[in-house]
Amino acid sequence: MKTLTRLFVATALTGVIAPAAFAEKWDMPMAYAASNFHSEVGAKFAQCVTDGTDSEIEIVTHPSGSLFPGAQIKRAVQTGQVQIGERLLSAHQNDNVLYGFDSIPFLATSFDASGTLWEVAKPTIEEALASENLTLLYSVPWPPQGFYSRDEVTSVADMEGMKFRSFNNITTRLAELMNMLPVTIEAAELSQALATGVADAMITSGATGYDRKVWESLNYYYEVDAWLPRNYIIVNSDTWNDVNDDNKGVIRDCAAAAEAEGLQRSKDYTQFTLDGLREGGMEVGPPSEQLETDLKGVGAVLTDEWLEEAGDEGRAIVDAYKAKAE
């Protein structure tokens, strides 16, 4: 009788815990602060998936590079150390030069232009990701990139010798062409780097500048609208392939909603953050005619260099974009 009782209790307990055995926890590292709109949209996406799958898949976000630094997120997802993550793919041009298509200076300088560029590039980028065991879920653009400086600049000549924060191949080369000193700094390290003088100039969005309160260290923001880089939510392809069709449908729906909301948030955030930079004490405005001319000249050199390195696939993206943009 005792044996039967023990067996019944064990069976009952198994029945209680069995559903939980099929639940999966997906850790999702993110490079930017929890208050950044990308991170907020990512958190909402994670909750959408968790709720939509009845917690069969629970996604837990880890913002601010708290689980993996930004530079390590893509590799962590690719190798299965985590199931899912968010990354600025243009930071990985060394892996595949095509990942830098969205950061070609002065090619696509508005949200509409960025959307057209993404439309023609998406199939190629998905194929490139697939070759690295990665599946794209959604992508959201940053606001247009502006130039930040500790000191006033009216031409590229004024930038000579400045320490410039770089975060991908394009920004490193940009610094070199403008006779600045490139210093690689992830977003999570930005505030400290600026405060300690590691960098005194950068090109990035108003959103990053606002989130990091860069007015505590920098004084000028020039609205040069250089490009609109994109963040990507990527999932390990082996993990994705193991997801059942119903849950894949839920994830796709949540991803589509996140992409639409992220785009609108990025548009709304653009003016909000520029106003915030002004309120923080920065001078915010358009570049001088000379600076704009100088930067476009540098951009033309960078475009030619990228096209040469990217080859036929890269040129096909740019040609298709220009054809649709006409």
Query: How many whole angstroms separate alpha carbon 196 and alpha carbon 189?
Result: 11
Query: How many whole angstroms separate alpha carbon 201 and alpha carbon 256?
Result: 35
In a domain, 321, yes or no: yes
pLDDT at residue 53, rounded to an integer: 98
CATH number, domain of 260, equals 3.40.190.170
Which strands, in side-by-side order, build the sheet including 181-184? 181-184, 163-166, 201-205, 145-149, 220-222, 283-285
Question: Could you tell me the maximum CA-CA distance found in the chain, to the nearest angstrom?
Answer: 93
Q: Answer for the pair 124, 313: CB distance below 8 angstroms, yes or no.
A: yes
In a domain, 1, yes or no: no
- How many structural domains is the chain composed of? 1
CA-closest candidate to residue 202, choices 193, 86, 108, 211: 193
Q: Answer for the pair 103, 227: CB distance below 8 angstroms, yes or no.
A: yes
Query: How many whole angstroms separate alpha carbon 323 and alpha carbon 326?
Result: 6
pTM, two decimal places:
0.85
- Tens-place pLDDT, residues 201-253: 999 999 889 989 999 999 999 999 999 999 999 999 999 999 999 999 999 99
Q: Which domain holds residue 218?
A: 22-325
In a domain, 171, yes or no: yes
Query: How many whole angstroms separate alpha carbon 27 and alpha carbon 213?
Result: 28
In a domain, 15, yes or no: no
Average pLDDT for 6-35? 65
In a domain, 97, yes or no: yes
Query: How many whole angstroms separate alpha carbon 188 and alpha carbon 67?
Result: 12
Q: Answer for the pair 147, 203: CB distance below 8 angstroms, yes or no.
A: yes
**Which SS3 state, helix, strand or coil, does residue 105 take?**
coil
In a domain, 303, yes or no: yes
Q: Name the residue type at position 171.
A: T
Q: What is the DSSP letter of 187?
A: G
In a domain, 87, yes or no: yes
pLDDT at residue 103, rounded to an integer: 92
Q: Say yes or no to pLDDT of 4 above 80.
A: no
In a domain, 13, yes or no: no
- Tens-place pLDDT, residues 242-289: 999 999 999 999 999 999 999 999 999 999 999 999 999 999 999 999
CA-closest candidate to residue 233, choices 73, 68, 113: 73
- Tens-place pLDDT, residues 136-146: 999 999 999 99
